[in-house]
Structure 1
Amino acid sequence: MDKELRRQARQAAADPAMAWELRIGRPGQTGRVEIRDAVHLWEPTPGWLNTASYGLPPRPAVEALRRALGEWQRGDAPWFVWDASTGRARAGFARLVGVETDDVAVGSAVSQLLAPVAASLPPGSRVVVPEIEFTSNLFPWLVQDLDVRTVPLSEVADAVDGRTALVAFSVVQSATGEVSPVEDILAAARANGALVVADASQAAGWLPIDATRFDVLVCAAYKWLMAPRGAAFCYVAPAVRERIRPVAAGWYAGEEPGGEPHAYYGPPLRLAPSARRFDLSPAWFSFVGAAPALDVLNAVGVERVHAHDVALADRFLRGLGLPPAGSAIVSVDLPGAAERLAAAGVRAAVRDGRLRAAFHLYTTEADVDLALNALT
């Protein structure tokens, strides 16, 4: 054993990423790791400012995926070896947003996880949504026989009244990076008995979130959680669980007598008593990559990620002569900016004619300066 430890120590001395992984310890362990000690887990080409479109995976996630793909190719592993990552990722997301693991359901997309919530509302129920809301948190309500009202984000709280059954909004808006007035919306909803559904896809991973404050909170994992596309999570508060009909229930939502998961064959209906009754059969390899990515986030700590990301976003805004916005996503109106950035090798996005740039824990000051030099 001593010989193996010495071998690992020698490898770590030449490989900073290996040193970081040894210091963190076993998967799922929560630590307090400085970002400077974790950045070696990424190998981005300079100029990636587009995490709001998709995040870049850390090395442990990529290696886990490569192992699983090799096992699949050779037929070397039973499916439940890969499926174990689903439970590990579920637990990692629960830690990230401060909830119990049993209160988290898994699926592949935000709209997929919201569909049962929308289908459970009585016909004609009023739903209030911001007018710039991403369609994954809008279409599930619109396809039902519901009274959907869209208003400017700043007016959402005022639009909630005694007729409102549910208010749905993104914690951080995809198009603009604006952090929603969560406190105002929650206060209005609670005062009027309305359910609160939040989409944290552009927030979880860089913005500290206490999911217990919402009735339902959904999150696609391929952005700030840096997971493969095809993994998504849904917190369902125990107090509202019985009000939602699991209309997409399948084998993965089942539970055999004695608490064993997954009812394979035949009646009667036997769903898990936890939020797992809303599970949708997972895309295994997406969760194989999601689990180690969440381990990394939890090891570093979302508070540290928040400070790092917002500092870089504010540096970018200051360089353009603009005030800080307090978000890891910035939206600026700069004609021709996308073309100038592309020529400099900087990858960002354009939304509604405005440049959208996003800054995450693998972003450096050099990335920011590269973009500023191209723009100024």
Structure 2
Amino acid sequence: MTPSSPGAPLQVAEILRLREDFPILQTQVNGHPLVYLDSGATSQRPLVVLDAEREFATTLNSAVHRGAHTLAAEATEAFEDARAAVARFVGADDDEIVWTSNATEAINLVAYAFSNASVGRGGAAAERFRLGAGDEIVTTEMEHHANLIPWQELAAHTGATLRVIPLDDDGALRLDENQITERTKLVAVTHVSNVLGVINPVEQLIAAAHGVGALVLLDACQSAPHLPLDVRALDVDFAVLSGHKMLGPTGIGALYGRRDLLEAMPPFLTGGSMITTVTITEAEYLPPPQRFEAGTQRVSQAVALAAAVRYLHDVGMPRIAAHEAALGQRLVDGLTAIDGVRVLGAGIDLPRVGLASFDIPGIHSHDAGQFLDDRGIAVRVGHHCAQPLHRRLGVTASTRASTYLYSTEAEVDGFLDGVSATIEFFGVH
């Protein structure tokens, strides 16, 4: 990877050099060079990430926080060094990062901590997590199902009310001062929509929530890989990350939680490795983050994720954000210019990442995706785990193209040509 000056836009030569770090980008699909525009679902991994996991498995593989032998100590050090790397990447302290299997588990961890507190677990320290009739949880109509269904379940378990911030006809959040009130206990919102690609004005929601004493959980799955993220500067209480969307492996995610909140939260999963003392009738738990890390952990995956965030840091998150903003606008402008294409969220006047979803009336998204795949262009089709958003915009599914630091303007242009060819092939105008 070629060093570069901070803040300078990624140049074509640099992107081509970066692409050499990703072996899969050198392959062909259906006789065409792979054009990978599905990074919003799963990003590709550079050699340093692949090598980090393999090196751990071949030189350090051992149980962490358990053994007294040298290999176990070295594995534990690598595991905790990985935690520190991810913490630095998002502006947190080491003990504010909890390892999870994915962001979905991280959100459920918080939801079940609220649920457990609401039935009396956690003692007086957990009082602020207790919910009941009259309390409200606020989320939005654009959320990924992972940041909606856990709150539906929490409301059902506790008697609290789930309130949803609606969307306007373009897909933007319709914010007003009556949505977050003295009854609000938690606001859960996505930083970047995984369907629309827009960067939501979360600062406004965070300020409103904290103004009434409510907590905020930020779904950062589509922002942490693409934008500089500082959880302390944003002043969020919780944030969730997904490793496989940010150059890391599958099976690893993270929860950021403010230290004082993690210390007060009752655990979600229980068992080995998260306790201090156990008797037949009761147990005492470790302090966070280990309190929330029951059982054998995803050690090699954590080490690989640390390699991924170091790689992103070396490229420069401001540079990646600028590159993707340009690609995102190129996607939206190019799709909008094609007769017969409707770009979801095209009219929203907000900054965006390199992602765009669209509908071609008369062509099912799966058919469009298959046609593009025949040309070696990988995109996402379906409802993208956001059925309420699609329903609000009057469609059942869409086709989504999403870029990353290794994507090029030429790939975007080839994709746009493919969309035009799709319309011509199916005879829809």
Tell me, yes or no, whether TM beats 0.5. Answer: yes
1:67-216 correspondence to structure 2 within 5 Å: 67-70=55-58, 78=71, 81-118=74-111, 119=115, 120=117, 121-124=129-132, 125-144=135-154, 145=157, 146-153=160-167, 154-155=173-174, 158=177, 159-212=179-232, 213-216=235-238
The residue number in structure 1 matching 2:341 is none
Whole-angstrom distance in 2 between the partners of 1:127 and 1:367: 42
Aligned CA distance change for structure 1 residues 132 and 33 (closer, same or farther; 3 Å)? closer
Please say if residues 348 and 358 of structure 1, whose CA atoms lie closer than 8 Å, have aligned partners that are also in contact: yes
Matched, 1:308 2:329: no
Identity of aligned residues (%): 28
The residue number in structure 1 matching 2:340 is none
Aligned CA distance change for structure 1 residues 72 and 101 (closer, same or farther; 3 Å)? closer
The residue number in structure 1 matching 2:240 is 218
Among candidates 50, 54, 58, match of residue 46 of structure 2 = 58
Bigger shift: residues 329-338 or 185-194: 329-338
Runs (5+) with no aligned partner, structure 1: 1-16, 25-30, 255-262
Matched, 1:297 2:312: yes
Residue 174 of structure 2 aligns to which amino acid in structure 1? E
Please say if residues 92 and 298 of structure 1, whose CA atoms lie closer than 8 Å, have aligned partners that are also in contact: no
Bigger shift: residues 57-66 or 335-344: 335-344
Whole-angstrom distance in 2 between the partners of 1:82 and 1:351: 41
Matched, 1:49 2:41: no
Instruction: Please give the per-residue CA displacement for 1:10-49, whole angstroms capped at 9, x wherever unaligned.
Output: xxxxxxx5xx5xx79xxxxxx8898515443113143101
Residue 381 of structure 2 aligns to which amino acid in structure 1? V
- Local SS of the residue matching 2:143: coil
Instruction: Please give the per-residue CA displacement for 1:140-191, whole angstroms capped at 9, x wherever unaligned.
Output: 2222323222232513564111111101011112232232220221121122
Please say if residues 196 and 216 of structure 1, whose CA atoms lie closer than 8 Å, have aligned partners that are also in contact: yes
User: How many pairs does the alignment contain?
Assistant: 340
Aligned CA distance change for structure 1 residues 191 and 105 (closer, same or farther; 3 Å)? same
Q: Shift of residue 289 of structure 1?
A: 2.0
Whole-angstrom distance in 1 between the partners of 2:174 and 2:274: 38
Among candidates 337, 348, 354, match of residue 398 of structure 2 = 354
The residue number in structure 1 matching 2:356 is 330
Please say if residues 33 and 300 of structure 1, whose CA atoms lie closer than 8 Å, have aligned partners that are also in contact: no
Aligned CA distance change for structure 1 residues 216 and 74 (closer, same or farther; 3 Å)? closer
Runs (5+) with no aligned partner, structure 2: 28-33, 64-69, 118-128, 168-172, 338-345, 384-396, 421-429
Please say if residues 82 and 285 of structure 1, whose CA atoms lie closer than 8 Å, have aligned partners that are also in contact: no
Residue 286 of structure 1 aligns to which amino acid in structure 2? Q
- Local SS of the residue matching 2:357: strand
Scaled by the length of structure 2, the TM-score of the pair is: 0.71
Please say if residues 172 and 202 of structure 1, whose CA atoms lie closer than 8 Å, have aligned partners that are also in contact: yes
Q: Shift of residue 131 of structure 1?
A: 2.2
Aligned CA distance change for structure 1 residues 342 and 126 (closer, same or farther; 3 Å)? same
Question: RMSD value over aligned CA atoms?
Answer: 3.1
Please say if residues 137 and 185 of structure 2, whose CA atoms lie closer than 8 Å, have aligned partners that are also in contact: yes
